Amino acid sequence: MTSKLPATELFLSVIARLGLVRSEAYARAQLQDLFAGVDLQNKRVLDIGGGSGIYSFYAACAGAREVVCLEPEASGSKAGATLLFGKISAELPGANVRLDRRTVEEYTTDGFFDVILMHFSLNHLDENACIELCRNREAWESYRNRFAHIGSLLRPGGKIIVSDCSRHNFFALLGAKNPFCPTIEWRKHQQPEVWARLLEETGFRRPAIRWEPLYRFGFLGRVLLGNKVAAYFLKGIFRLEVEKG
């Protein structure tokens, strides 16, 4: 990273030039909100289901000393994710981000992570169990076991950041495609309150839920649309943060 730009701004210019985001401004706002209040300086970060590594590289450029992007490129992941990871890595040779192709169930490490991110990867941990989560005790236990393993990778006081779609959405109620995210299969997701309760049962605490606005509307959209009611009629994307007890 020899550019005079701040590391995060250089990163934003790279992913915009590679066509991975709508715009630098859009990506900046979304990433700042995702990591808001999370200290990344000199921290170890695990990005579960990290795909092409956009969030992993951002964390590294924002000060993390080591980032592991866990991406098996299996069911539910984007084809070519590892190829895109290589392209970003070539543009940011100073970023300490390592790609690991193991699943989270297979993954072990020496030491602990300070921050674990799961961005749109929750339902892929066990898709069938996710669908049945509130109706089937075995499905609930399946996720409890997975969260227990993920928690074993995190230091006490460390944080998990979860971002995903909620299960309930106005367009899903109508049986129509959501114009903001037409490919989402809403039944394969759960409400953030469900995940918060499950994580609390697994030993996490202080759940905090926020809702993603429409960044295309700029500052006004962030102020007016970043709430649960607006999200129900828009994309229904939430951010859940918990802390390991």
pLDDT above 70 (res 10): yes
Diameter of the chain by CA atoms? 54
pLDDT tens digit sequence for 54-99: 999 999 999 999 999 999 864 444 557 888 999 999 999 989 999 9
Do 231 and 185 touch, CB atoms closer than 8 A?
no
pLDDT above 80 (res 161): yes
Q: Give CA 87 to chain center in angstroms.
A: 21
pLDDT tens digit sequence for 190-203: 999 999 999 999 99
Of 112, 23, 28, 18, the residue nearest 62 (C-alpha): 28
pLDDT above 60 (res 131): yes
Q: Give CA 28 to chain center in angstroms.
A: 15
Q: What is the CATH number of domain 7-244?
A: 3.40.50.150
Q: What is the mean pLDDT of the chain?
A: 92
pLDDT above 60 (res 1): no
pLDDT of residue 214: 87
What mean pLDDT comes out for the span 12-16? 95
pLDDT of residue 81: 83
Q: Give CA 72 to chain center in angstroms.
A: 16
Do 58 and 24 touch, CB atoms closer than 8 A?
no
User: In percent, how much of the chain has pLDDT > 70?
Assistant: 95
pLDDT of residue 76: 45
Of 52, 80, 34, 66, the residue nearest 238 (C-alpha): 34
pLDDT above 80 (res 182): yes
pLDDT above 90 (res 220): no
pLDDT of residue 98: 95
pLDDT of residue 4: 62
Do 116 and 150 touch, CB atoms closer than 8 A?
yes
pLDDT of residue 3: 55
What residue spans define the domains of the chain? 7-244
pLDDT tens digit sequence for 19-42: 999 899 999 999 999 999 999 999
pLDDT of residue 244: 97
pLDDT of residue 78: 56
Q: What is the DSSP letter of 125?
A: G
- Of the two residues 103 and 74, the one the predictor is more confident about is 103
Of 149, 162, 141, 170, the residue nearest 235 (C-alpha): 170
What mean pLDDT comes out for the span 214-237? 88
pLDDT of residue 75: 43
What mean pLDDT comes out for the span 100-119? 94
- Of the two residues 242 and 177, the one the predictor is more confident about is 242
